[in-house]
Chains A and B, each alone.
Chain A
């Protein structure tokens, strides 16, 4: 690297670091003023601090969203690099992603509540077994259901965002780069690891951030659901409304998929 370039980089880096430190100081002061950093958790509103909530949120979403985002990235790689644009698996996944990214997570939250806490729950049997076992009445019983709910909601809300952004990042690498690497005899794996991923990585990171943001939004929902499950009779859930909601979601999803199948793929990349 030539000297002027190095100097420029050092200057830019130090400016960024200074801006970040200043921002952090401001942010911390703001937090202090609103008493968010108070570590005391309290059932009474107004007296509790924000830190436990923040940590609770992170604790709730980090492990599962991390796994779900990784799964989404792997899925995007498979779809984008290994399946041709006309492959029906690819078209199915792409139509699902387009559909899911456009739906507010609240609807899925309600659906998940119906599935896991409601009447016709897939895991109803599990819950019933738990009722008869030593776990009955313990928080674990509810937590298991919450765990399944969270996973389902994250798969429906976070994963499509991860898939979409990773796909966009992979497409942003120009065709000539791939072409020239292939023509020199590189295997698909070499093209990906040596050329495509290094160039797509910044965008993939940004996509990961977007997916995390969606996970935080879904966390609010989860907290709501958990509180709901504490206060409401599980059997008192309005099942007809749920049936209607689930039916409507399935119907619109199916119609979007059929449109995707019958409208010929107009854009062929690679």
Chain B
């Protein structure tokens, strides 16, 4: 089995508060893995470790080892822009940049390539490909100059996924990607994830257990900073090995 992400003895502190305690996890490549657990259990923190965006909040101490695609991302020679290019991220609230749809898709590519390295035809083609793979091309092909923040939320979130694709990431991290969307939008995003899952490794944080059950192949349960259980989704929900997992998946709390 090939693993996209391997974390060993990962400990993380926000100031004096320990948010992650000895987390060991292996995320298989090319499929959807979901992270569940009650609020404040460290799901999002763990997710944000994998492309090191949580370091920006200051006051964060990380110990342990995380290998992403076979390379320890805490090595001194790791370039953060390259890491974040390979590990894309989708946030809880759709956060397209307040520029046009067209420029949103090209923003990632532009910051990673020298100025004026793309011709107009090339960039047109990139935008079309990206939008087509998230099924937005038909809706937006006449409105590429529209400000991205004026789209519907569902379209915005799909756009946020689409703008990762030109960078050719290997892994896409999603932090509750559907919590700001209605049922129809959630359905659309889930469908999209399932279609893209063969090409990319997805790791999603979700509060919605039904969603974890629907989309993910493997499921990780976390509680108060510790990783309690990591198994196939079906098995985790139907035959939880741990008492806390059982309580949580049967909705006794959380």
Contact A183:B58 (CB < 8 A) given known A176-B95, A177-B98, A190-B111: no
- Structural contact, A84 and B97, CB atoms closer than 8 A: no
Contact residues in A for B89 (Cβ distance below 8 Å): 183
Determine the distance from Cα of A180 to Cα of B175 in the docked complex, in whole angstroms: 12
B51 interfacial contact with A, CB 8 Å? yes
Contact residues in A for B82 (Cβ distance below 8 Å): 185
A44 interfacial contact with B, CB 8 Å? no
Interface residues as binary, A189-223 with B (CB distance below 8 Å gives 1, 0 otherwise): 01000110001000000000000000000000000
A239 interfacial contact with B, CB 8 Å? no
Which of these, A86, A179, A187, A199, contacts B95 with CB under 8 Å? A179
- Structural contact, B167 and A185, CB atoms closer than 8 A: yes
Q: Measured between C-beta atoms, what is the minimum distance from A1 to chain B in Å?
A: 7
> How many of chain B's residues have a CB under 8 angstroms from any CB in A?
29
Contact residues in A for B108 (Cβ distance below 8 Å): 184-185
- Structural contact, A181 and B51, CB atoms closer than 8 A: no
Residue of A nearest to B145 (CB): A1
Q: Measured between C-beta atoms, what is the minimum distance from B81 to chain A in Å?
A: 4
Q: Measured between C-beta atoms, what is the minimum distance from A74 to chain B in Å?
A: 22
Find residues 85-131 in chain B having any chain A CB closer than 8 Å to their own CB: 85, 88-89, 91, 93, 95-98, 107-108, 111-112
Interface residues as binary, A94-116 with B (CB distance below 8 Å gives 1, 0 otherwise): 00000000000000000000000
Contact residues in A for B160 (Cβ distance below 8 Å): 180
- Structural contact, B84 and A183, CB atoms closer than 8 A: yes
Q: Measured between C-beta atoms, what is the minimum distance from A270 to chain B in Å?
A: 6
Contact residues in A for B85 (Cβ distance below 8 Å): 184-185
Contact residues in B for A179 (Cβ distance below 8 Å): 53, 91, 95
Q: Measured between C-beta atoms, what is the minimum distance from A83 to chain B in Å?
A: 9
Which of these, B56, B59, B98, contacts A182 with CB under 8 Å? B56
Determine the distance from Cα of A84 to Cα of B15 in the docked complex, in whole angstroms: 13
Determine the distance from Cα of A243 to Cα of B189 in the docked complex, in whole angstroms: 70
- Structural contact, A184 and B98, CB atoms closer than 8 A: no
Find residues 167-186 in chain A having any chain B CB closer than 8 Å to their own CB: 176-177, 179-186
Q: Measured between C-beta atoms, what is the minimum distance from B147 to chain A in Å?
A: 11
B80 interfacial contact with A, CB 8 Å? yes
Interface residues as binary, B51-70 with A (CB distance below 8 Å gives 1, 0 otherwise): 10100111100000000000
- A180, A181, A190, A270: residue with the most chain B Cβ atoms closer than 10 Å: A180
B43 interfacial contact with A, CB 8 Å? no
Contact A199:B98 (CB < 8 A) given known A182-B56, A184-B164: yes
Determine the distance from Cα of A199 to Cα of B97 in the docked complex, in whole angstroms: 11
B163 interfacial contact with A, CB 8 Å? yes
Contact residues in B for A85 (Cβ distance below 8 Å): 58
- Structural contact, A268 and B58, CB atoms closer than 8 A: yes
Contact residues in B for A185 (Cβ distance below 8 Å): 80-85, 108, 111-112, 167
Q: Measured between C-beta atoms, what is the minimum distance from B141 to chain A in Å?
A: 16
Which of these, A1, A84, A177, A181, contacts B59 with CB under 8 Å? A84
Contact A182:B53 (CB < 8 A) given known A84-B58, A84-B59, A194-B111: yes
Residue of B nearest to A183 (CB): B89
- Structural contact, B97 and A180, CB atoms closer than 8 A: yes
Contact residues in A for B145 (Cβ distance below 8 Å): 1
Contact residues in B for A180 (Cβ distance below 8 Å): 91, 95-97, 160
Q: Measured between C-beta atoms, what is the minimum distance from A184 to chain B in Å?
A: 4
Contact residues in A for B83 (Cβ distance below 8 Å): 185
- Structural contact, A183 and B81, CB atoms closer than 8 A: no
Interface residues as binary, B19-60 with A (CB distance below 8 Å gives 1, 0 otherwise): 000000000000000000000000000000001010011110
Q: Measured between C-beta atoms, what is the minimum distance from A229 to chain B in Å?
A: 49
- Structural contact, B58 and A270, CB atoms closer than 8 A: yes
Find residues 152-186 in chain B having any chain A CB closer than 8 Å to their own CB: 160, 163-164, 167
Q: Measured between C-beta atoms, what is the minimum distance from A146 to chain B in Å?
A: 44
Beyond A181-B111, A183-B84, 18 additional pairs, beta carbon < 8 A: A176-B93, A176-B95, A177-B97, A177-B98, A179-B95, A181-B97, A182-B56, A182-B84, A183-B51, A183-B88, A184-B88, A184-B108, A185-B81, A185-B85, A185-B108, A185-B167, A190-B111, A199-B98
Q: Which 6 A-B pairs have the closest CB atoms?
A: A176-B95, A185-B84, A84-B58, A185-B81, A183-B89, A184-B108
